Amino acid sequence: MRYAIVGVGNILFKDEGIGIYAAKFLESNYSFSEGVEVIDGGTLGFKLMRYYQDYDRVLIIDTVSIKDEPGAVYNLPSEALLGLGSYRQTAHEVEVVEMLEICSFLEKMAQVSVIGMVPEDIESVEISLSDSVKERFDLLINEILKELKQEGVEIEKKGSKKIDEIINEYANPSSLSREGFR
């Protein structure tokens, strides 16, 4: 089975980057059984379609605009997404659902679900996470790992990079951008 774990969101708007950081965290600290890929989807737009078409299973990690306390984690199957009006509130979430609707017309598409966290602040222009969200970051990761295990994905821990280090790499990409030349 081809399995994609896609982090989506916008790192420029504080907690909207949760999905991106979580994907990077998983990629840095765990190795998964063959066929599983971790993808930094950014604010992908209709390019998400490709993942829906190319994989058997797509797990999206995202922020969710559900009225609940910041840091609350939700695991939403695709049927819930299609009916969930309030999920459509951020720039990228519009697309997660719209693309689902467009692709639902195909004979074959991935089984799509979202594991998301309620953000505290998606308005500040900052590359960081609110404390309330950061404190419960482990909860998000554990939910994702639990979901993967339930679906038979083998997981092995390989590193112990902290969330702060991950955020820092995104906030200061200098080292990465210069690697290209060498």
Partner 1 sequence: MAKHIVVDPITRIEGHLRIEAVIDDNNTIVDAYSSSTMFRGIEEILRGRDPRDCGLLAMRICGVCTGTHYQRSIEAVEHAFGVTIPKNARIVRNLIQGALYIHDHVVHFYHLHALDWVDITKALEADPKKSVEEAFKWAKIAGTTPWVADAAKFAEIQERLKKFVKQGRLGLFAKGYWGNPHYRLTPEQNLLAVTHYLQALDLQRDAAKMMAIFGGKNPHPQSIVVGGVTCVQDIKNPARIALFKDLLMNFRRFIKQAYLPDIYMAGTMYAKEALDGTGAGLKSFLVYGDFRLDDTGFYNSKLLFPSGVVLNGDLSKVIEFDQEKVKEDVTHAWYKNGEALHPFEGRTEPEYTGFGKKENNIAYLDTQGKYSWIKSPLYDDNRVEVGPLARMVVGVAKKDERISEYVTRFLKNADLPVEVLFSTVGRTAARAIETELMADVMIDWTDELASNVAAGDLSTWTEFDFDQVSKDAQGYGLAEAPRGALGHWVKIRNGKVENYQAVVPSTWNAAPRDYKNRMGAYEASLIGTKVADPEQPLEILRTIHSFDPCIACAVHIVDTKGKELGEFKVNTSCAI
Query: Strand pairing of 73-77 and 111-117?
Result: antiparallel
The C-alpha atoms of residue 150 and residue 142 are separated, in whole angstroms, by 12
Number of shown-chain residues binding partner 1 (CB under 8 A)? 51
**Residue from the set 33, 54, 158, 168 that interacts with partner 1 by CB under 8 A:** 54
Quick check: 94 binds partner 1 (CB under 8 A)? yes
Q: How far is the CB of 32 from partner 1 (least distance, A)?
A: 18
Quick check: 44 binds partner 1 (CB under 8 A)? yes
Q: How far is the CB of 141 from partner 1 (least distance, A)?
A: 22
Distances (CA, A) of 16 to 2, 41, 42, 168, 181: 27, 13, 10, 15, 31
**Residue from the set 4, 5, 11, 59 that interacts with partner 1 by CB under 8 A:** 11
Is residue 156 helix, strand or coil? strand
Quick check: 132 binds partner 1 (CB under 8 A)? no
Q: In terms of Cα–Cα distance, which of 49, 28, 27, 46 is closest to 38?
A: 27
How is residue 5 written in tokens?
């774990």
Q: Which stretch binds partner 1 (CB under 8 A): 68-76, 82-90, 134-142, 156-164?
A: 82-90
Quick check: 80 binds partner 1 (CB under 8 A)? no
Distances (CA, A) of 32 to 35, 36, 53, 62, 158: 8, 6, 21, 20, 10
**Residue from the set 18, 26, 64, 122 that interacts with partner 1 by CB under 8 A:** 122
The C-alpha atoms of residue 5 and residue 144 are separated, in whole angstroms, by 9
**Residue from the set 121, 132, 147, 155 that interacts with partner 1 by CB under 8 A:** 121
Beta-bridge partner residues of 112 = 58
Quick check: 61 binds partner 1 (CB under 8 A)? no
Quick check: 180 binds partner 1 (CB under 8 A)? yes
Residues at the contact surface with partner 1, assessed by CB under 8 A: 8, 10-13, 39-47, 49-50, 53-54, 65, 82, 86, 89-92, 94-95, 98, 100-107, 121-127, 172-174, 176-178, 180-181
